[in-house]
Amino acid sequence: MITPQEIGGKALRKYGDYLRSLIQGSSFFPLHIRADKKAPADFGLRHKALEALISHSKDRTGFGYSLGYRKVVTRQHGEQDEVEVVRFNTEEDYLRFLNKEIEAAEFKDGLGQLLAWQPTLKDWLLQQPPDTLLQYQPAWKGICGVVDYLLTHDVRNLYLRTLQVPVHTKFIQRYKAVIFSLLQFLQPARFGNEGHTLEEALGLRKKPHLFALRWLDLAMAEQFSAGMEVFGVSVDYLKQVAWPVKQIILVENETNLYLLPEMAGSMALVSAGGALHLLKDIPLFRNTQLYYWGDLDEKGFTMLRDVRLYYPHVISVLMDEAVVMHHQLEMDTQPHRYREHDLSVLTGSEKRAFSLLSANNGRIEQEKLDQHYMQECLAKMPEANSTGTE
């Protein structure tokens, strides 16, 4: 026999359909839930289960589900009533049972405001997860204001943060996905191109990502950057330069930029994780010995793989089996389990380092590397501790 808890679970699973019915303006009640679980054969257990079901029903509580019965005949006890169906006859019964009255009222209020703004959004809402309206409930006024502005203004060649919208421009960044989805729905001819971002669809200018660069050869700093040892460079700038460098070291951790020793004819660059893909087509990198120093964790080795796919000649720094073995006591556990990755481009020692970490779901923070050991390894790099350029 179905239990009150099971009724609650089944009723809650219908909640999304209920919200959709509000959007459609269709009838949803009475809501029937099948009680397709057989009653216990034992009479005492049957009576106890039925009493629990009745005690939580509308007959006893004044709201919630009602029970529909059918007659069954048993050998032992003759004719008995058995619950056949559970019904929520009214919206009030259903919402009070689920404790959703306030939430449903907020949904209806938000729905009314949204459809008053753009009546055609009924179709858009039906394409979204049923709780979308509630998900953005506190922000709809701002979202609508931004969409109205973007529908009626030409913002090409402006920056996102300079738009004269009725909210802080950080608001657009936070709700960019839903804003773009609404624009695509309301003006598909203008915004419907697949693969475009909001910035691309609007024709906005993008701030160039600046990569921190450090000259490891102070003579080169004097020659090419007016003595500045550390400065920021864009991808477009990197593609244009043809500095006579012997080697370039990419580091993921900005602190490591300053741990590198001076090296003749060398420079280092913070490749910045999520921006790494921007560096995939730099002529200077293809024609120079390239090194990569990343984190000793899942992400670090997958980024090493990506760099090597861009530049097959790249050599890793402090990312081999010996480094992991030396620092096993410093190994922590990363928040999520390691996944399967195609690491075929890694060297044997790099793969073994990854396997040691993966077996323990581990990571070794670069801050925990033995500084003396690390400096000894860096000092063995070509041109380390040399001065001047040739």
Q: Are 245 and 224 in contact (CB under 8 A)?
A: no
Residues 152 and 266 in one domain: no
21: Cα separation from own chain's centroid: 30
Give how far Cα 351 sits from Cα of 76, 293, 302, 321, 334, Å.
70, 15, 11, 8, 18
Q: So what's the pLDDT on residue 388?
A: 42
Q: Quote the DSSP letter at residue 63.
A: S
| pLDDT score, position 386 | 54
Predicted pLDDT of residue 78 = 58
DSSP 276: G
The 10 Å Cβ neighbour count of residue 356 is 17
Average pLDDT of each block of 10 consecutive residues along the chain (390 residues)? 89 96 95 74 72 90 90 64 88 96 95 95 94 91 94 90 85 92 93 80 87 96 96 94 95 91 94 85 94 94 95 95 94 90 95 95 89 89 56
Range of the domain at 373: 211-379
Residue 258 and residue 130 share a domain: no
Which residue is associated with the tokens 């741990």? Answer: 259
Q: What pLDDT score was predicted for residue 12? A: 95
Q: Which of 65, 99, 133 is the last residue of a domain?
A: 99
| Closest CA relative to residue 356, chosen from 326, 317, 316, 315 | 326
Question: Residue 380's pLDDT is what?
Answer: 85
What is the three-class DSSP state of 308?
helix
Last residue of a domain, one of 55, 77, 99: 99
Please indicate, yes or no, whether residues 257 and 151 belong to a single structural domain of this protein.
no
pLDDT, residue 169, reads 76
Q: What is the pLDDT at residue 336?
A: 86
Question: Looking at the structure, do residues 151 and 289 belong to the same domain, yes or no?
Answer: no
CA distance 21 to 160: 37
Q: Is residue 263 domain-shared with residue 185, that is, in the same domain?
A: no
- State the total domains in the chain: 3
- Whole-model pTM: value is 0.61
> Of the candidates 202, 232, 255, which is a domain's last residue?
202
Burial of 34 (0-12, 13-18, 19+ CB in 10 A): exposed
